[in-house]
Structure formats: C-alpha cells, structure tokens
Structure 1
C-alpha cells in the first residue's frame, strides 16, 4: 500500500538513498531540505526513475516553516503516513581538538585549538537544536496527520554515539543520546493512537560532513579513520545502502509490533570491547 513519506535532511547522502529506496517501493516521497537545490536534485532523480517525489524547502528549527511545508505536502501528496527525521549534524565549535586533555593543552595558544574549557556554548546549542529540536518540531507538525490512522510510524536518526560517546564530540554524542531517549519516550506516548516510533543508530558512514576527518585527499585513512576501522569488527565503513533494509522493515507492516527500539547499524562497533 502506497504511503506518503516525509524525510527531513533528504538532500544529504544517507537520507537521499533512503528516499530513493522508499520511492522504489511505490511510496510518495516529500524531500525536505534547507537547501532547495539539493532537494530538487533528489526529487528529480526519483521522478525520472518512475517514482513520485516533491522537493520542499523547510527549516526543521522553525515551526512556521514546517507548518507551511506540511500544507504543501497535504495539497500535493496527501496526509503524511511516515516521518523520517533525518536532519542533523555536528559543529566545530562543539568539538575538542584532542581526544584527551593533557596539562600542556592549557598553555596551547594555537589559533583554533580547543580544549573542553574552550567549547563554545553557542556551538553546543546549535548541535543540540539541530539534532533534538530538529526532530521534535517536525514530529509535532506531522504526527497530527497520523493520529488514529493505521500503518503510521516515525523513524528518527540517532547514532552509535548514543550508546558509547566518541572522543572529541561531546555535543553531538549528547544530542544523539537525547534523540534515542526521545524515541523511547515518544513510542510510549503515541502507543495508544497507532503511531510507532523507532530509530536507526548508524555507525561510521563516509558522508560530506566527515569525509575529511576520516580520509585524506588521496583516499587513505586518517589516524582517526584507522582507529575506527580497527574498532569495527567488519573492518569497513558503512555504505548508505546498508541502511535500506532496516528502514524498509521499520516503516513496513512487518514491524507492526515494533516500537521504541534504537537499532545500531555499525558493523559491530558498539558490540566490540576493543579486546
């Protein structure tokens, strides 16, 4: 049965892949992104391949923007059945320069060098807002379409950081932990009105946001990239397509009794003790 599916942040690598996979299943897709050019590109590719998709400019941090976007979705595609909250990301101002604090770091005057004590509250707030508020607001707007209907669900994007925080990125790790907690809370809250709520927790996937952190210009691994691969039992980064199977399952009738779960898709990273 065809459903109307809204994906936020769908101009990016991971969610555009999910959008195309869902469209191939016959669903009508609303591609949300702050960058309308990116959304248009994905929607055009889906429509060219025989699917149905529209591009919508929307800011997940502005409720009025989302309300206007919802009107467009309702008029052009119909009532929303599934919401995938894919918008998120990190910010350099919420990131430390080194994984561990050393006493000599306190004397480092290098431009841009940041210890824990230098983290910018504005940068940290940006990361929390983008990941948590950027999940909360779209849910407030689009879940109203789902109340009392059958086969409706919400899929959030958490991270394996939510299970075990990575070094250097306290803001992002904390924000994704909030997304996981919110997923469980919302699953209980919506359990009486027919809306399931689950989350994916991707491990390390090469995206535009992290490519320069994990690989060099010639494609080799950086020290951090090497550490990640050494700690990933499957010995590789994830590919966007690795998210498709779990997404189709959680959004489909086969998961009709599944709600409140956060599923790691990380090649075993979160299961490995390092020994």
Structure 2
C-alpha cells in the first residue's frame, strides 16, 4: 500500500514555497520521495524550505519568479524543465488584497488575477505540454473556501479562486485522456500570512472558529496528506476534483 503514495523518482515544482501552505506541501512531497523545485518571488525566498528538505535527506532546489509577470512565469517554466521533466506541478503561489468592492482598485484586481489565476494556467499549459507528450502528470491547484462562497472585501481573490476551480475541471476534461490528473485542494481557514487580518479580528476569528466543527484553525502541515495523495498513484482515478481540507467548514 505504501508504494501507492511513493513519489520516488518524481520531480515536483511548487510555487509559493517560501512559507505557509506552499512550504508545507513542498516538504511533504519531498518526504514522500520527490525531488522538489521550490519557487518563490525572490531568489532567496525558498532557501529555508530547501534547507528543511535537505536536512531530512531530500533533494531540492530554489527557483524564483514574480508570478504577476508573464515573462517571469515563462522563464520559471523553462528553468524548471532545465532540471529535467516535471512530473508534479503545485500551483500554490498566491496573493490577496482587501478593500470594499466599491473602492477596489483595478491595479490590485489585475495583480491578484495575474498571480492567482493567470500564472497557474500558464504554468499548467507550459508544463502540461511535456506531460501530454510523456502521457503522465499531476497538477494540483490551490483553491479556497472562497471557491464556494463570496467572502467580504476580497472580490478579486474570490473571483480568482472560483476561476481556479473551473480551470481545474476544464484541464482535467481535456487532459485525462493523456493520463494527466488535474485536481485542486481547497484549504479551509489556515494560519497563514493571508489570514493574519482575520485572526487578529476578534469578532471574525470567533465567528470562524464557531463554524468549524474541528474547533480550530488549520495548520499548514494539515495539507500534507492531501497533497501527497493527489500527487501520487493513489489518486490515479481522481480527476477534476476540488478536495476541501477544512475541518468540516463546508459541512456546517
């Protein structure tokens, strides 16, 4: 059974790997045997993640790209493939901007969409071409609870995460015949930089905890099992699925 979850001999590219969810996912994939290319916005951004992987005996390399810049995203795909075939792509890099919808600045809207949606699609397209040629591959997009609901004062983030769920299904429909599985993970309320404002808001924090049956915020390491499952042979017949890891939030 353990062989089903083994990632030995596989290479993964994880964006947003410098901290939080991306860091936890990168470390988990490495623990399962994958060589992990850790991408972040700066050259030194993923050094801590790479060091953690190497300390546990894994193989890892740091890459960098500004995901809001299409040219940089294309260069990231090229840099990753220079290291060999990429078997697993995890689109975890993301950003958020908070403002009332009637005041939301369009430059912030465009940046959120570029980072959260455009970069994920472009990386999937560029690396997906080689996966199609090799007739194998795993793509994991990071969705959100805001792939299901509207949120408050985060219209661009909500739009991008609804779109990520849709793109996941669209790519799965086209690429399943090539033995490529495209799925998404929708984290619930996790302790990360993106949710710092919510954690600090006493009323919102209490309301969030009250709705989570598990009674606590998620920790980044709680995504490890879901990520390894969707990256491994154990999920070979799972495609176009958005897997909620939310402590029961959606069940309420």
Q: TM-score, normalised by structure 1?
A: 0.84
Shift of residue 204, structure 1, vs aligned partner: 0.4
Q: Aligned-residue CA RMSD in angstroms?
A: 1.6
CA distance in 1, matches of 2:226, 2:214: 18
CA distance in 2, matches of 1:174, 1:34: 22
Q: How big is each residue's C-alpha offset from its partner over 1:150-205, in whole Å with a ceiling of 9 and x where there is no partner?
A: 54110000001111222222221121000001100110011222211000000100
Which of the two has higher C-alpha Rg? 1
Find 1:36's aligned residue among 27, 39, 43.
Answer: 43
Q: Which of the two has greater helix per residue? A: 2
Find 1:264's aligned residue among 244, 247, 252.
Answer: 244
Q: How big is each residue's C-alpha offset from its partner over 1:103-123, in whole Å with a ceiling of 9 and x where there is no partner?
A: xxxxxxxxxxxxx32222222
* Higher RCO (CA 8 Å, separation ≥ 6 residues): 2
> What is aligned with 1:163?
148
* Higher mean C-alpha deviation, range 180-189 or range 39-48: 39-48
Structure 1 gaps, min length 5: 97-115, 216-220
Cα gap change, 1:63/1:130 in structure 2, threshold over 3 Å: closer, same or farther? closer
Classify the secondary structure of the residue corresponding to 1:205: coil
> What is aligned with 1:187?
172
CA distance in 2, matches of 1:151, 1:193: 7
- Give the 5 Å matches for 1:76-155: 76=83, 78-92=84-98, 95-96=99-100, 116-155=101-140
Q: How big is each residue's C-alpha offset from its partner over 1:123-145, in whole Å with a ceiling of 9 and x where there is no partner?
A: 22222222111211111221122
Contact 2:68–2:111 under 8 Å retained in 1: no
The answer as to 2:155 corresponding to 1:175 is: no
> What is aligned with 2:73?
66
> What is aligned with 2:227?
247
Q: TM-score, normalised by structure 2?
A: 0.91
Shift of residue 49, structure 1, vs aligned partner: 2.2
Contact 2:67–2:114 under 8 Å retained in 1: no
> What is aligned with 1:100?
none
CA distance in 1, matches of 2:167, 2:79: 27
Contact 1:151–1:253 under 8 Å retained in 2: no
